[in-house]
């Protein structure tokens, strides 16, 4: 990459000395090592009963952000009295669970409030906040503050944090390094954003290909007819349209303890569940699975509480699923692979939403009677097979393109991290 070549061409400082820190190695000879107690001032202004006057903030991988209270996600406390004030230019550190927390440092661009569990700090005027932010972002990326951890929760005490020495160049050099990194990282971030947009477009393209293949067929010259359903539109004249309930036969086979535990997800449909990592499952796995249902390869499984999101699919496995899920056999004139691709395409998901009734946030109960009325386009069996072959071929090409974009994104992220590390530790001279 051009930016890598330019980075390699950047000069070094004329003289270095040993920093005394193993991971850091040498630093420029004129840089200081200053304890944080001379750099940061601790703030702890609780909002108390005035929380309604503050914007709620959160520390994320993308920095300090405003929480969306119109579409709230995640947990909220009953009241915010113990939250603390944050002002534009304040640092926010998470000094506990450091090893497990994805991002432990942020520099706020907003006035607002944040959980009282975090540490809010202000810098004194002789230091450039942006330089310090990049310095601690670099430490956080590699979790290089491990020597300061204590206890089971990997906590950094305030005494240890304030005793820690930050490697500081002169003020003007701090500014030059910060400006350099702002310029370079913003360009890298724009390149990453462009590739992320490309991935979104490729995924949308894949959905359109699937949607057209399962409802319009592969022959662009075929005579079309109105399906009579707004969300489906026109279909080939020789296709039939039926009701979903006429294509399914409900089953409820008793549990077999020798079979693997499966789950039904929005992203992938029916998957093998990881019983070793309960945190990854986001919910508890009961000890007694005797009430669970058997689902076999080629059968259609559905999470009735999340069908409105697309949590259903034809199983590629034989296993057991929650007794709250539905299991169906398909009619013999429907190819299971075709049905899986069709029913999980965007054209059908809205039907399941319309057939579900909201009972609580994130979970709507699927009305089985209304579900049976969902229209389904049925091509001749030979065209179902052709459609699947076409979808798989096109999907493979798109997945390869997505993979290439993802690889380039990872390389750009690595470049950004290397650039920040090299600049804030004096490995390269940028001014």
User: What are the Cα distances from residue 87, in Å, to 49, 54, 94, 121, 206?
Assistant: 18, 11, 17, 10, 44
Q: What's the pTM value of the predicted model, to 2 decimals?
A: 0.82
Give the residue among 368, 377, 353 at the shortest CA–CA distance from 266.
Answer: 353
User: What are the Cα distances from residue 135, in Å, to 2, 36, 129, 157?
Assistant: 25, 13, 10, 19
CATH topology of domain 1-15+171-238+379-431: Helix Hairpins (1.10.287)
What is the overall mean pLDDT for the chain? 91
Can you tell me the distance from the alpha carbon of 97 to that of 104, in angstroms, rounded to the nearest whole number? 9
Q: What is the CATH number of domain 32-168?
A: 3.90.220.20
Can you tell me the distance from the alpha carbon of 73 to that of 71, in angstroms, rounded to the nearest whole number? 7
Out of 61-75, 246-260, 389-403, which region has the weakest mean confidence (pLDDT)?
A: 61-75
What is the per-residue pLDDT across 10-53, written as a single tens digit (0 to 9) for each?
A: 689 999 999 888 888 899 999 999 999 999 999 999 999 999 99
Percent of the chain residues past pLDDT 70, beyond the cut:
92
**Neighbour count for residue 375 (Cβ, 10 Å):** 15
Q: Which part of the chain has CATH 3.90.220.20?
A: 32-168, 240-378
What is the per-residue pLDDT across 318-358, written as a single tens digit (0 to 9) for each?
A: 999 999 899 999 999 999 999 999 999 999 999 999 999 87
CB distance 91 to 40 below 8 Å: yes
240-378 sits in which CATH class?
alpha beta
End-to-end CA distance of the chain: 22
Q: Which part of the chain has CATH 1.10.287.1120?
A: 1-15+171-238+379-431
Which tokens sit at 169? Answer: 């160049």
Give the residue among 209, 220, 203 at the shortest CA–CA distance from 394.
Answer: 209
What is the per-residue pLDDT across 148-168, written as a single tens digit (0 to 9) for each?
A: 999 989 999 999 999 999 999
CB distance 240 to 299 below 8 Å: no
Can you tell me the distance from the alpha carbon of 415 to that of 411, in angstroms, rounded to the nearest whole number? 6
DSSP result, 203-260: HHHHHHHHHHHHHT-S-TTS-EEE-S-TTT-EEETT-EEEEGGGTEEEE-BPP-TTSP
């Amino acid at each position: 990459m051009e930016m890598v070549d330019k980075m390699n061409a950047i000069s070094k400082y004329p003289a270095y000395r040993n920093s005394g820190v193993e991971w850091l190695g040498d630093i420029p000879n004129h840089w200081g090592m200053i304890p944080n107690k001379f750099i940061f001032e601790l703030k702890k202004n609780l909002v108390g009963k005035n929380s309604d006057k503050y914007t709620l903030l959160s520390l994320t991988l993308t920095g300090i952000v405003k929480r969306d209270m119109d579409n709230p996600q995640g947990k909220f406390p009953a009241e915010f009295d113990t939250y603390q004030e944050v002002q534009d230019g304040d640092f926010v550190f998470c000094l506990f669970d450091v090893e497990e927390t994805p991002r432990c440092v942020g520099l706020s661009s907003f006035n607002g409030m944040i959980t009282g569990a975090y540490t809010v700090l202000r810098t004194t005027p002789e230091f450039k906040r942006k330089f310090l932010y990049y310095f601690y972002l670099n430490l956080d990326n590699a979790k290089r503050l491990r020597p300061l951890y204590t206890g089971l929760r990997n906590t950094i005490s305030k005494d240890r944090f304030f005793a820690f020495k930050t490697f500081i160049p002169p003020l003007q050099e701090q500014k030059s390094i910060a400006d350099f990194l702002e310029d370079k990282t913003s360009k890298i971030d724009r390149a990453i954003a462009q590739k992320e947009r490309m991935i979104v477009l490729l995924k949308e393209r894949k959905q359109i290909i699937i949607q057209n293949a399962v409802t319009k067929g592969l022959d662009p010259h075929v005579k079309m007819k109105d399906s009579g359903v707004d969300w489906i539109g026109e279909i080939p004249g020789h296709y039939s349209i039926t009701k979903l309930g006429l294509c399914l036969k409900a089953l409820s086979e008793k549990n077999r303890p020798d079979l693997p535990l499966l789950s039904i997800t929005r992203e992938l449909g029916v998957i093998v569940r990881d019983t070793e990592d309960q945190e990854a499952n986001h919910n508890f796995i009961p000890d007694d699975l005797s009430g669970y249902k058997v689902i076999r390869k080629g059968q259609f499984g559905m999470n009735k509480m999340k069908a409105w999101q697309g949590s259903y699919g034809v199983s590629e496995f034989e296993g057991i699923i929650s007794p709250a899920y539905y299991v169906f056999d398909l009619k013999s004139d429907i190819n299971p692979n075709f049905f899986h691709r069709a029913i999980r395409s965007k054209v059908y998901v809205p039907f399941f939403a319309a057939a579900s009734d909201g009972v609580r946030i994130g979970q709507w109960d699927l009305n089985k009677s209304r579900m049976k009325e969902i229209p389904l386009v049925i091509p001749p069996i030979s065209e179902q097979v052709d459609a699947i072959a076409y979808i798989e071929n096109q999907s493979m090409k798109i997945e390869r393109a997505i993979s290439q974009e993802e690889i380039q994104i990872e390389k750009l992220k690595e470049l950004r991290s290397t650039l920040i590390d090299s600049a804030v530790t004096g490995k390269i001279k940028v001014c």
